Amino acid sequence: MDRVAKGLTLVVGLGVSGRAICRHLSRLNVPYMVADTRAEPPGLDDFRAAHPAIDVHCGSLAALDLTGVAEVVVSPGLDPRMPGLKELADQLNPHTGEPMVVGEIALFVRSAKAPVAAITGSNAKSTVTTLLGDMATAAGVDAAVGGNLGTPALDLLASHPDAQLYILELSSFQLETTPRLGARCAAFLNLSEDHLDRHGDMHSYRAAKQRIFIGAESAVVNADEPPTWPTYPVDQVAYFSQRAPEANEWGLAFHHDKLTLMQGSSPWLAIDELKIAGQHNYLNALAALAMGQTLGFAAAPMCNALREFKGLEHRSEVIAQINGVTWVNDTKGTNVGATLAAINGIGATLEGRLILLAGGIGKGADFTPLAAPLSKCARHVLLFGLDAPRLADALIEHVSIQQVEDLTQAMQTAFELAQPGDCVLLSPACSSLDQFANYPARGEAFRRWVLDKASTKAGEAL
């Protein structure tokens, strides 16, 4: 058994986050070595070339003697209680008082010199994080945006050392290895089944998300979803809701005959001023406004940023209209909650019906919540990928379905079935890794096919 030299920090995982951890430790001159459970992790040769003095262990962690290790920093994609780490995960570090096994955000908290605004949730994290970043810029705040979205948090410390604020999207994987975040403002947007293959059950998944509130000064949560409400002490809590707001809460109500983003009885923006659509996006806007106000951003620049915000790629993104049919890319809908949000948000606005394209790897999720809303608004559901049969079992008694081989066949069939006023929605409720490298690759395949079809139809019309 190989022994890790006494006093070394062990970095586990050589993915994007693992490499950011290594760069951070190198900047701090902290001695470390790297372990990856894969025999040949991608990019290993490049890493060794960039860090020739760093020892790298590939293979089972059980082959390492960690008796003298100073600390283990594990990448978020890896279970901190995996074989080889479980015993250490139950121990406290005598020097920091934190667990011996931590993640990248624990290192970030130790080094960050500016306050943190943090966003988590099963869905919409990226949208709210990006929108809050736009609001900060408009308000004249030098904010660095990243985390689970875009630039790793530890790299932000190097690229934006003078930032006035760090705005971080944080996953449950990142939060479960963060002993204390201490955010200036922490938001928990929503909770639905996801990552049960990692967390085991909804109780554990929720508990990981709730860690965002440890040490937080203020919170923004979903009034319609009590599981998002803080279970840790927080002095100031702001609520947003799809209902008309009560007291000083944020919500949706009619003002001068227009549906409007409201705080209590005060109107902020009518939704017809927004470039984003769907009730789920209106909730995202409310959450960002609540966070911005808590952080001290001025109202006018926040509203200006919101007016200009077009949403994110791969999240309820309108690609084209063909023959009166709207084609929407929501490939980032990788769990049931995200797909429910897209169905409810878009379905209610249609003159026609919805054709849903769904399927992939379901991660153990229960698909039955999709049945009722689809029964009300869907013309047809096209299912592909590994868990298409499980989706079919959940939906077959409620909506017209068809199982196909892959996304391409699903799109062609949808094109043949769709009628003017309909929407073809790619929102798979599953991860993409059975048939694609990642969810953006799935979305790009959808985009290319739709734009090619749109170009062909335009050419035929000439």
Contacts of 165 (CB under 8 A, 6+ apart): 114, 115, 116, 117, 136, 141, 142, 143, 144, 184, 295
> Three-state secondary structure along 69-90?
CCEEEECCCCCCCCCCCHHHHC
Please name every residue paired with 239 in a beta bridge, in sequence order, or none if there are none. Answer: 221
CB 194 within 8 A of CB 122: yes
- The residues assigned a catalytic role are 125, 148, 195
Cα-Cα end-to-end distance for the chain: 72
CB 409 within 8 A of CB 384: yes
- Centroid of chain to Cα 430: 14
Q: Which helix (H) or strand (E) holds 289?
A: helix 279-294
Q: Name the burial class of residue 360, with classes exposed (0-12), middle (13-18) and buried (19+) by CB atoms within 10 angstroms of its CB.
A: buried
- Centroid of chain to Cα 462: 42
Closest to 449 in 3D by CA, of 420, 421, 414:
414
Strands (E), 190-292: 218-222, 236-240, 250-255, 258-263, 266-270
Q: How many CA atoms lie within 13 A of 83 on its CB side?
A: 6
Residue found by looking up tokens 């017209």 in the block: 400
